[in-house]
Amino acid sequence: MGASRGLGKAIAAALIAEGAEVAICARNAERIAAVANQLGAEGIVCDLSVDGAASRVVAEASARLGGLDILVVNTGGPPAATFDSITDAGWRQAFEGLWMSAVGAIRAALPGMRAQQHGRIIVVTSIAAKEPVPNLMLSNSLRAGLHGLVNALSKEVASDQITVNALMPGYQLTERLIELNVDETKASTTIPAGRIGTPEDFAAFAAFLASRQANYVTGQAICVDGGVLQSI
Ligand code: NAD
């Protein structure tokens, strides 16, 4: 999901490199068609912030691919804001985009995964979910909630051989970070690894979590951040 660029696109490419058949979605029809063509994926147009869109995408992906083994829940990040500046409408919009899209996609994917007794669900969140980042109130709070959902759901579906994990990006140099004018050199000095991450660093771990070898890893929130997070 959310794969016309950035982390979603890199994960799609990593899964395709491992031999998976992949469907990707995003809002812009021309862009998703071009990226799908470039990667060799199925392209689906959808706005994940619209009610019911995420479940429709999963149904369409399953139909086009002949089933679904791996679901990568991902979408654009909510706007930067402090508590005082967020209206009720702002909270609801972010909730629809980040939370309900995850719920809708997972709900649509589970029956097929349960029937086949195999599944991988990976939810892209953020290090902000573990260590709140100033000015990112919407992301800090809603994504921490998603970690609760991931862990609780993992217990409910583990006996169906379905794993559910959250993957937290730290600072991966995607188009989004470039648009936000993140200074790569300055950012690198605060990252223990001494460099900003690449989308491919992140995608490689997502591909591992999606693999058979990761079948006993579930309910976790794991960061790919070059050592940025301080918490144990
Ligand atoms: P990005 O903006 O480069 O890519 C987001 C993708 O989702 C794009 O393909 C976009 O078209 C699609 N998208 C956005 N809104 C959508 C919608 N409503 N419906 C359908 N598709 C939609 O972002 P990214 O850097 O790849 O990050 C992916 C996610 O990870 C974001 O939620 C971001 O906040 C989070 N994140 C990223 C970083 C990082 O370092 N890049 C760090 C922390 C968290």
| Domain residue spans of the chain | 68-224
What confidence score (pLDDT) does residue 196 get? 95
31 CA closest ligand 1 atom index: 11
What confidence score (pLDDT) does residue 93 get? 97
Q: Which residue has the tokens 């599944």?
A: 119
Q: Residues lining ligand 1, judged by CB closer than 6 Å?
A: 2-8, 26-27, 46-49, 74-77, 97, 124, 126, 169, 171-172, 174-177
> Mapping DSSP to helix (H, G, I), strand (E, B) and coil, where does residue 219 land?
coil
Query: Which fold, 68-224?
Result: Rossmann fold (3.40.50)
What confidence score (pLDDT) does residue 180 get? 77
Per-residue pLDDT reduced to its tens digit, 72-125: 999 999 999 999 999 999 999 999 999 999 999 999 999 999 999 999 999 999
What confidence score (pLDDT) does residue 59 get? 98
In the 8-state DSSP scheme, what is residue 132? P
What confidence score (pLDDT) does residue 185 get? 85
Atom 27 of ligand 1: nearest residue by CA position: 7
What confidence score (pLDDT) does residue 181 get? 81
Q: Which residues of the chain have pLDDT under 50?
A: none
Cα–Cα distance for residue pair 152/36, rounded to 1 Å: 33
Answer whether 0.85 is exceeded by the pTM: yes
Atom 38 of ligand 1: nearest residue by CA position: 169
| Contact of 10 with 200, CB cutoff 8 Å | yes
